[in-house]
């Protein structure tokens, strides 16, 4: 049912996002909590679909880097190689999921643009995106990792 466009979208609205899994400090964050982080604005981002087609006009987003949220939660790394085996799974209320590697977020330019956002084009998010969403602004095709109705961020070590 990922990104269901039919019917009442209010049932998908996310009021908080939880951070769990391989973290020292699990978090539950509201929009107000997110505003206490360093807030970033991404201006004039073009949304692009998975097939490379333009999905519409340029959009402006305000939110928090996913990396900053993960630093507050403190990713568990018992030895220095653990992070190389760590993934971050973002899940929406409609069960849409996207995945990032720790290395991608903390060691590439992509990490600079992964934004947990609460405002678009100067407005709070409407029901069609929930109150909290996520975008990967440095991806060549931004659509596939645009998570509407973001409800959770799970940190998981894949292998030992």
What is the residue-level pLDDT of the chain in tens, covering all 160 positions?
Answer: 454 455 678 889 999 999 999 999 999 999 999 999 999 988 876 666 655 556 566 678 899 999 999 999 999 998 888 889 999 999 999 999 999 999 999 999 999 999 999 999 999 999 999 999 999 888 777 778 889 999 999 999 987 6
Architecture of domain 10-157: Alpha-Beta Complex (3.90)
Give the position of tokens 């939110």: 63
What integer pLDDT is reported at residue 138 of this predicted model? 86
Token pair for residue 140?
């060549």
Domain ranges of the chain: 10-157
DSSP 8-state assignment for residue 147: B
DSSP 8-state assignment for residue 39: P
25, 80, 98, 128, 158 from 147: Cα distances, Å: 23, 30, 7, 11, 22
What integer pLDDT is reported at residue 47 of this predicted model? 67
Q: What are phi and psi of 17, to 5 degrees?
A: -125, 135
């Amino acid at each position: 049912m990922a990104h269901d466009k039919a019917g009442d979208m209010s049932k998908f609205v996310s009021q908080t996002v939880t951070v769990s899994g391989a973290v020292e400090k699990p978090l539950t964050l509201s929009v107000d909590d997110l505003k206490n982080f360093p807030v970033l604005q991404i201006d004039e981002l073009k949304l692009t679909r998975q097939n490379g087609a333009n999905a519409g006009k340029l959009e402006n987003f305000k939110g928090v880097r996913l990396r900053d949220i993960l630093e507050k939660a403190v990713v568990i790394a018992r030895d220095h190689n653990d992070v190389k085996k760590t993934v971050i799974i973002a899940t929406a209320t409609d069960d849409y999921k996207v995945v990032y590697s720790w290395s991608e977020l903390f060691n590439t330019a992509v990490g600079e643009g992964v934004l947990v956002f609460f405002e678009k084009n100067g407005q709070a998010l409407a029901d069609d995106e929930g109150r909290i969403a996520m975008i990967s602004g440095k991806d060549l095709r931004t659509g596939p990792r645009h998570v509407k109705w973001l409800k959770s961020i799970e940190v998981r070590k894949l292998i030992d």
